Amino acid sequence: MTLTFAKRDIIAVNDFSKAEILQILEHTQILKSHPRPDLLKGKILGSCFFEASTRTRISFETAMQRLGGTVVGFADASATSTRKGESLADTMRMMENYADIIVMRHPLEGAAQHAADVVSIPVINAGDGSNQHPTQTFLDLFTIQETQGKLDGLHIALGGDLKYGRTVHSLAQAFVHFNPRFYFISPPLLELPKEICDELREKGVKFSFHKCVEEVIEKLDILYMTRIQEERFAHKMEYDSVKNAFSIALDHLKKVKPNFKILHPLPRNHEIDTSVDNSPHAGYFQQAENGLYVRQALLSLVLGGV
Amino acid sequence: MLTEANKTLAVAGIKDGTVIDHITSGMALKIVDLLKLNQLEKQLTLGLNLPSKTTALKDIIKISNRVITEPEANQIAIFAPNATINIIKDFEVIQKYQVSLPATITAILKCPNPRCVTNHEKMSSFFYIKQRHPSAHLQCKYCRKTFTQANT
């Protein structure tokens, strides 16, 4: 069954059913394999980044241009009338006059939903504070499916800052459709929030907590690492004591499964040693590249160019 | 018509109008403000911290010559989940029902998340009711965070 995404807002992964997620991934594969340089010819993307973001913004703008569309917008709120006190709603209404679709990143949680409420053109959330970043989750899912050949029944570890990391929250929530076995590896103060654990428990997802990667690495299909920020800790010594327990180097990979892949939303710090980069288990660069195709898929599905 | 029963009421009976009874103690003034009852130019009688058969203490509001609608009544359910609405005609109760939480609540509550856009832009808050018992759980439409009734 072909589902329609025409004119739909993309605000949070939880808004999508399993069938819809799978269709997005299927469409991503089609565009990755068979580029369509004229698919969105004549369409304009309004790129509204109220908060600096080099990777995501460039990924979206490239995605649009490689489909034949063009881009207008801004990369920083200081370039807009926000500094004159203009409301978010008015800024979005202004952009609606010029663009066919808006992609936005904003520091406040819920900003993308607010924008979606006030304009009639589709809005894609490129990150709203520590709340949602749905396109990151879709590209994570796509990469996992691509490297594992499936999404169902995988053994997945989420490591690093699980408390403040929106990417791991969203990925955990998306995976409830796919019967995973989760392993959560984090320092004690950075554990996955209780609300998300409760949600997983309600959906019958099995998970466990661990102190270091070595405890579980041989069981894993996927290790999804995130950056632990030093500023989360009161003292540098405390940060130094934990960061090595949540980092991975070539030595860790001696007994992993052949299909094992390491993913990371990037940028990375100490958590993945550069010695891993040339290993067949390094999946994070492929993951970053897939951001382009996933965003192309979303733009084309929403603008009806399929 | 005053009856022997009315003479013993802590708050005098009304001939026609609405009585909101079994309001959670301390919430009557909030409800007056929420429904803008003090702007109706109708006689309004309040009883605060009255003894109750069902709970320790209760508040009560009596509005003369005004029947509040069921949607209005259900808006107060978040503050007074056990409140009952009594429609009065000629000193008799002609209709009685308990308030129930609506599916959504707009504007009357502030999102407790300081980083929620509703606390920074000129816009109304919006909550979905995710759970009703034993206590209400509300999810903000915007920041997607869920709160208990005690947080709001």
Chain A: residue nearest B143 by CA? A110
Q: Please list, in sequence order, all residues whose beta carbon lies within 8 angstroms of the beta carbon of residue B132, skipping any fewer than 6 positions away.
A: B101
Percent of chain B exceeding pLDDT 70 equals 90
Q: Is the bond preceding A188 in cis, omega lying within 30 degrees of 0?
A: no
Residue B133 scores a pLDDT above 80:
no
* Separation of alpha carbons A287 and A49, rounded Å: 22
Identify all chain A residues contacting B143, using CB atoms and an 8 Å cutoff.
Answer: 109-110, 129, 131
Q: What does pLDDT average to over chain B?
A: 87
* Separation of alpha carbons A29 and A51, rounded Å: 30
- Read off the DSSP letter of residue A229: P
pLDDT confidence of residue A244: 66
Q: Answer for the pair A257, A220: CB distance below 8 angstroms, yes or no.
A: yes
* Separation of alpha carbons A154 and A220, rounded Å: 8
pLDDT confidence of residue B1: 47
> Nearest 5°: phi and psi at A110?
90, 0
Would you place residue A144 in the very low, low, confident or very high pLDDT band (cuts 50, 70, 90)? very high
Catalytic residue list contains A55: yes
Q: Answer for the pair A106, A129: CB distance below 8 angstroms, yes or no.
A: yes
Identify all chain A residues contacting B145, using CB atoms and an 8 Å cutoff.
Answer: 109
Identify all chain B residues contacting A129, using CB atoms and an 8 Å cutoff.
Answer: 115, 143
Q: What is the pTM of this model?
A: 0.87
Q: What is the pLDDT of residues A231-262, one digit of tens each?
A: 666 677 777 776 766 788 998 899 999 999 99
The radius of gyration computed from the CA coordinates of chain B, to the nearest angstrom, equals 17
> Nearest 5°: phi and psi at A286?
-60, -40
Identify all chain B residues contacting A113, using CB atoms and an 8 Å cutoff.
Answer: 117, 141-142
Residue of A2, A34, A83, A84 marked catalytic: A84
A284-302 and A54-65 helices, crossing angle to 10°: 50
Would you place residue B132 in the very low, low, confident or very high pLDDT band (cuts 50, 70, 90)? confident
pLDDT confidence of residue A91: 95
Q: What is the pLDDT of residues A98-126, one digit of tens each?
A: 999 999 999 999 999 999 999 999 999 99
* Separation of alpha carbons A53 and A167, rounded Å: 15
> Nearest 5°: phi and psi at B74?
-70, -20
Interface contact A108-B115, CB threshold 8 A: yes
Interface of B with A (CB under 8 A): 113, 115-118, 120-123, 140-146
**Mean pLDDT in residue range B15-31:** 92
Interface contact B144-A109, CB threshold 8 A: yes
> What one-letter code names the amino acid at A206?
K
- Read off the DSSP letter of residue A3: -
Residue A274 scores a pLDDT above 90:
yes
Q: What is the pLDDT of residues B57-99, one digit of tens each?
A: 999 999 999 999 988 888 888 888 889 999 999 999 999 999 9
* Separation in Å, CA of B149 to nearest CA in chain A: 16
The ipTM, to two decimals, is: 0.89
Check residues A165 and A153 and name the one with the higher pLDDT. Answer: A153
Closest by Cα among B112, B116, B37 to B75: B37
Q: Answer for the pair A99, A70: CB distance below 8 angstroms, yes or no.
A: no
Check residues A180 and B136 and name the one with the higher pLDDT. Answer: A180
Q: Which two tokens stand for residue B99?
A: 């308030």
Would you place residue A171 in the very low, low, confident or very high pLDDT band (cuts 50, 70, 90)? very high
Q: What does pLDDT average to over chain A?
A: 92
Q: Which two tokens stand for residue A33?
A: 């394999």
pLDDT confidence of residue A230: 73
* Separation in Å, CA of B141 to nearest CA in chain A: 8
Chain A: residue nearest B121 by CA? A87
pLDDT confidence of residue B108: 85
DSSP string, A188-227: GGGPPPHHHHHHHHHTT-EEEEESSGGGTGGG-SEEEE-P
* Separation of alpha carbons B29 and B27, rounded Å: 6
DSSP string, A39-66: TTTT-EEEEEESS--HHHHHHHHHHHHT
SS3 per residue for chain B: CCCHHHHCCCCCCCCCEEEEEEEECCCHHHHHHHCCHHHCCCCEEEEEEEECCCCCEEEEEEEECCCCCHHHHHHHHHCCCCCEEEEEECCEEEEEEECCCCCEEECCCCCCCCCEHHHCCCCCCEEEEEECCCCCEEEECCCCCEEEHHHC
Question: Could you give the C-alpha distances from B98 to B64, B74, B80, in angstroms and in order?
Answer: 19, 9, 10
Q: Which residues of A50-88 are buried (b: 16+ CB within 10 A; e: fewer)?
A: bbebeebbebbbebbebbebebebbbebeebebeeeebb
**Mean pLDDT in residue range A270-292:** 94
Question: Could you give the C-alpha distances from B33 to A99, A158, B39, B105, in angstroms and in order?
Answer: 43, 48, 9, 16
A179: alpha, beta or left? (left if phi > 0; alpha if psi -120 to 50): left
Sort A188 into a burial class: Cβ within 10 Å, 0-12 / 13-18 / 19+. Answer: exposed
pLDDT confidence of residue A305: 66
Chain B: residue nearest A12 by CA? B144
Q: Answer for the pair A162, A190: CB distance below 8 angstroms, yes or no.
A: yes
Question: Could you give the C-alpha distances from A21 to A2, B32, B101, in angstroms and in order?
Answer: 12, 47, 33
Q: Which two tokens stand for residue B77?
A: 């359910």
Would you place residue B148 in the very low, low, confident or very high pLDDT band (cuts 50, 70, 90)? confident
